[in-house]
Amino acid sequence: MADKVREIFDESGQAIEFREGLEGVVAALSMISSIDGEKGILLYRGIPIEELAAHSTFEETTYFLLNSRLPKQQELRDFEQQLKSHRQVPAAVLDLIRSFPANANAMDLLRTTVSGLGLYDPDSQTNTVEKNIERAINLIASFPTIVAAIQRRRSGKEFVAPQQDLSHAANFLYMVNGEAPSEYAAKVLDVALILHADHGFNASTFTARVVISSLSDMYSAISAAVGSLKGPLHGGANSEVMSTLQEIGSLDKVEEYVMNRLATKQKVMGFGHRVYHTYDPRARILSQFSQKLAQQTGNTKWYEMSRKIEEIMRREVGSKGIYPNVDFYSATVYYYMGLDQDLFTPIFAVSRISGWTAHVIEQLQNNRLFRPRAIYPGPKNVPYVPINDR
């Protein structure tokens, strides 16, 4: 990849190293998460993701991300209650969702709704830590309600009000489907939410930090982050993975499909990562859930196809460090849970809102405006040609 990191000359003739896509560039010090891309290790504030997936809940992990320490029992109970009490969104925001075109992209709807939500925060321009923590809790609690309402709007159904006696994950599934989920479905989603909650300076988190670094406001930062997450190279990949599986159609067509993609230099969605050059630890956990759900539903086809894609990709490009990322197995996990494919990326946002808000707060604690350079390699002193002479 020599051409993606190369020496160039700036306007004053000075040689500088140029890293396309800011590859490997350290843009900040952050205490929120840490990734060892060679060993495949992800830590949230020092704790391995496997530990959190096995023992924590999304609510506890969120508290941890926002407050830098695990809560004591009463603190966790209070925090869960706080989240529950913020599940309702203003009626005007629900009306806004009702007014949107039913066929619009779900991430576009989410982005616009987050922006709209900011209009109902009378202090939206006040960037104190206390206000931003309050705002973060409100956003984290509101995201499931908003995403579920968007889904129901898109399928022409009436909205389902949040339930106070369900966990964050269970209540989301309840609001989407109109019925309480099984304990297992709620557990699987809870773990998926833990796994997606933060991930260093990924594109959407960096976007949020760049926006807040101008001392803008939390809603501007989060709506921009939603827009960034939407892209198929980032969070949009989980939905693309499902499209890929459907396009391939059956196990016997996998080999031909993958080999053709590689031969024509096209990406296989759900593989590769800027930081991991080995197996993404989140994908490992999600692949186990995908397998279990495949067995439970008796529909093993999508899981078996995914395993086959993985096997061929390992054989062909594993030596280049291209392995499944988080989006690869989350696709079949959500599919087996009966969730609409258009909801896959919004569900990522329902989780990542924890990380985004934690990063916005962290950025403001020691803020300096993000302002990198661009080098202009074009001609200089170009004469201005009057319009009639062109």
Give the range of 91-99, 113-121, 187-195, 318-326 binding ligand CMC by CB under 6 A: 318-326
- Could you confirm whether 217 is annotated as catalytic? no
**Residues touching ligand CMC, count (CB under 6 A):** 22
Q: Using the rule CB under 6 A, is 1 a contact of ligand CMC?
A: yes
Q: Using the rule CB under 6 A, is 322 a contact of ligand CMC?
A: yes
Q: Using the rule CB under 6 A, is 326 a contact of ligand CMC?
A: yes
Q: Using the rule CB under 6 A, is 352 a contact of ligand CMC?
A: no
- Could you confirm whether 36 is annotated as catalytic? no
Give the range of 73-81, 151-159, 252-260, 270-278 binding ligand CMC by CB under 6 A: 270-278
Give the range of 103-111, 129-137, 295-303, 323-331 binding ligand CMC by CB under 6 A: 323-331
Q: Using the rule CB under 6 A, is 270 a contact of ligand CMC?
A: yes
Distance separating alpha carbons of residues 153 and 149, to the nearest angstrom: 6
Determine the residue with CB nearest ligand CMC.
272
To the nearest whole angstrom, how small is the minimum distance from the Cβ of residue 320 to ligand CMC?
A: 6
Decide whether 212 or 237 has the Cβ nearer to ligand CMC. Answer: 237
Distance separating alpha carbons of residues 327 and 332, to the nearest angstrom: 9
Catalytic residue selected from 190, 198, 280, 327: 327
Footprint on residues 21-50 left by ligand CMC (CB under 6 A): 21
- Could you confirm whether 234 is annotated as catalytic? yes
Q: Using the rule CB under 6 A, is 325 a contact of ligand CMC?
A: yes
Residue of 121, 198, 217, 327 that binds ligand CMC (CB under 6 A):
327
Residue of 269, 309, 312, 361 that binds ligand CMC (CB under 6 A):
269
| CB-CB neighbours of 26 under 10 Å | 8
Footprint on residues 175-204 left by ligand CMC (CB under 6 A): 202
Catalytic residue selected from 234, 277, 340, 342: 234
To the nearest whole angstrom, how small is the minimum distance from the Cβ of residue 26 to ligand CMC?
A: 16
Q: Using the rule CB under 6 A, is 258 a contact of ligand CMC?
A: no
List interacting residues with ligand CMC (CB under 6 A). 1, 4, 21, 202, 233-235, 237, 267-274, 317, 320, 322, 325-327
Which residues have a catalytic role annotated?
A: 234, 273, 327
